[in-house]
Amino acid sequence: MSYCSLCNWETAIIQGGTLSISYGKDSLACIGACEHLGWKINRIVHAEVWATDTIPAELPPMVEFKKKADRIIKERWGIEVEHFCATSYAGVSNGKVTYEDVFYKTMTKGQFVGAIKGFPMAIGQWCQALKLNAIPKFADNTYLGIAADEPKRFKTLTGTKLSPLKEIGWDEDYCGLWCKYNDLLSPTYTDSYRGGCWFCHYQGVEQLRLLRRNYPQYWDLLLKWDADSPVPFKSDGHTVHDYDKRFRCEDEGIVPTDRTFRWDMLDRPFQMSFFGGMFNG
């Protein structure tokens, strides 16, 4: 172990640090790693994102899991997880800046003066700042959930940004086992839906399909935003309404689901239905 690494250990043991968690397996497993290493955890923090004033950015199963995880952490390690959200961004300042707040923010400069921001563009995605600007900076060390088998991420580590997982040698698989054993494994690892924001423009077709099927109230809100946005939902120009039309055609059996989908299928649904019936009959 190098002299620099020894110094990091000493400051972690004596001064402690702040652990930022996403509720994923790696960040939660840092709690166990710190316990084994003897590293002091001064606080545990989480960046919360909200869709609206009353609707979280994450789906209900994940919201419930976070509450459960907070209870377990408080009971076993005596630490209250602190939740922070952005309070000021893009000219919007209040106790909680939501995705919808910034979405409807009117631009005051540039070539799109007077227009609302709408969905984030592929370049310069404003939504990321809602999470990055949420947690205040603390004076102590920062503990990061970088696993021992993620060497490409080690460049993020410094004298004050430490990875207990790297130091103890826990890889991603072991982190998952630790979370499962401690009843802290997120439902995103066991269920079919993705983690993160339910309105994320990067999510795949199956996730959008599940959102429409299982959470119609969220889907309706996404359709409303889509109608108001000057920016298309997807970087290829497709909108939420495009996906809604696709899914409706799938539900009605107009568009086949047993072969590769092409968007031009939606331009001729009746022909597809007619000829499909002929060949299948």
| Residue 105: other Cβ atoms inside 10 A | 17
Cβ burial 144-156 (10 Å sphere, 16+ → b, else e): bbbbbebeeeeee
pTM, full prediction: 0.86
Position 196: which residue type?
G
| Residue 184 and residue 59 share a domain | yes
| Residue 147 and residue 46 share a domain | yes
Tally of domains within the chain = 3
pLDDT of res. 267: 78
Q: What is d(CA 25, CA 172) in angstroms, rounded to the nearest whole number?
A: 8
pLDDT at 271 over 90: no
Residue 199 located in a structural domain: no
Q: What is d(CA 108, CA 189) in angstroms, rounded to the nearest whole number?
A: 42
Q: What percent of the chain has pLDDT over 70?
A: 89
Domain boundaries, position 49:
3-84+136-189
pLDDT of res. 9: 54
Hey, which residues does 161 pair with through a beta bridge? Answer: 142
| Residue 252: other Cβ atoms inside 10 A | 10
Per-residue pLDDT reduced to its tens digit, 166-205: 999 999 999 999 999 999 999 988 876 677 899 999 999 9
| Residue 27 and residue 93 share a domain | no
Hey, which residues does 88 pair with through a beta bridge? Answer: 93
HSE (side-chain half, CA atoms, 13 Å) at 111: 1
Helix/strand number for the chain, H first, E second: 11, 7
Q: What is d(CA 40, CA 54) in angstroms, rounded to the nearest whole number?
A: 35
Residue 264 located in a structural domain: yes
Residue 36 located in a structural domain: yes
Per-residue pLDDT reduced to its tens digit, 46-94: 999 999 999 999 999 999 999 999 999 999 999 999 999 998 887 777 7
| Residue 24 and residue 92 share a domain | no
